[in-house]
Chains A and B, each alone.
Chain A
Amino acid sequence: ETGVTQSPTHLIKTRGQQVTLRCSSQSGHNTVSWYQQALGQGPQFIFQYYREEENGRGNFPPRFSGLQFPNYSSELNVNALELDDSALYLCASSLVDVGYTFGSGTRLTVV
């Protein structure tokens, strides 16, 4: 059974650029959630995808968008990057409410 994998592990972008982060969910898990964790804070819910459709969204602007593919892998896209977008981005997969497994995250730095 493979876990949740995220890529890339680290990324440096310039303010105003766009970024795509990727997540492969744990085998059999049909739900993917994305979280943003700023330094010294707990993870904040961005959105969730269930069977390729967005199913819930946190308090993030529309420049944060996502996709889920038929194999349940997912992408998080952020447009017009701002300095405050610098954070650890975590992907979590789950099967209904049978626990949530987190990937090791992508550390994004916006300069």
Chain B
Amino acid sequence: RKEVEQDPGPFNVPEGATVAFNCTYSNSASQSFFWYRQDCRKEPKLLMSVYSSGNEDGRFTAQLNRASQYISLLIRDSKLSDSATYLCVVNLMTTDSWGKLQFGAGTQVVVTP
């Protein structure tokens, strides 16, 4: 079983619509959670951290469910520029490798006019 699993998509979304997707993680000891965005052939860029209480950044809302070990991302009022691969990232924060980010394979989102 993979440590972080995501639906690869693609999620085809009309411009202006809402799209949401989840990722699940296997290690209940995971401490930090993030969503990264990756454009084709570019490096991942931090979209937002995910907190237990849930958090919002403009049109983006992230939720964490520790009991069920999943993280979600919701994008409202989708823009064409939101087309990208969204990577779910988990960090165990152990003392011997606190920088070891565990990535999902990504969920592709395609926003269409």
| Interface residue from B32, B97, B99, B105 paired with A42 (Cβ < 8 Å) | B105
When distances are taken between beta carbons in the complex, the residues of chain B under 8 Å from A102 are 43-45
A-chain residues with CB within 8 Å of residue B102 when the two chains form the complex: 45
Q: Which of B44, B45, B94 contacts A43 (CB 8 A)?
A: B44
Given contacts A55-B96, A97-B91, A97-B93, whether A42 and B104 have CB atoms under 8 Å apart is: yes
Question: Across the interface, which residues of B come within 8 angstroms of A48, CB to CB?
Answer: 97, 99-100
Q: Which chain B residues lie closer than 8 Å to A92 at the CB level? A: 99, 101
Residue of B at shortest CB range from A49? B99
- A97 touching B32, Cβ below 8 Å: yes
- Once bound together, how far apart are the Cα atoms of A103 and B49, in whole Å? 19
Interface size on B, residues (CB 8 A): 24
Q: Interface residues of A toward B: which range?
A: 20 to 34
Residue on B nearest A93 in the bound complex, by CB: B99
Looking at the assembled complex, report how far the CB atom of B31 sits from the nearest CB atom of chain A, in whole angstroms: 9
B96 near A42: Cβ-Cβ < 8 Å: no
Chain A CB within 8 A of B42 CB: yes
Residues of B near A62 (CB, < 8 A) are none
B44 to chain A, nearest CB (A): 5
CA distance A42 to B4 in the complex (A): 10
Residue in A33, A42, A101 whose beta carbon sits within 8 Å of that of B100 in the complex: A33
Chain A interface (Cβ < 8 Å from any Cβ of B) = 31, 33, 35, 40-45, 48, 50, 55-58, 88, 90, 92, 94, 96-97, 99-105, 107
List 15 interface pairs A-B (beta carbons < 8 Å), by A numbering.
A31-B99, A33-B100, A33-B101, A35-B103, A40-B105, A42-B104, A42-B105, A43-B44, A43-B101, A45-B100, A45-B102, A48-B97, A96-B98, A97-B32, A107-B41
Which residues from chain B sit less than 8 Å from chain A, CB to CB? Answer: 4, 32, 41-46, 49, 87, 91, 93-94, 96-106
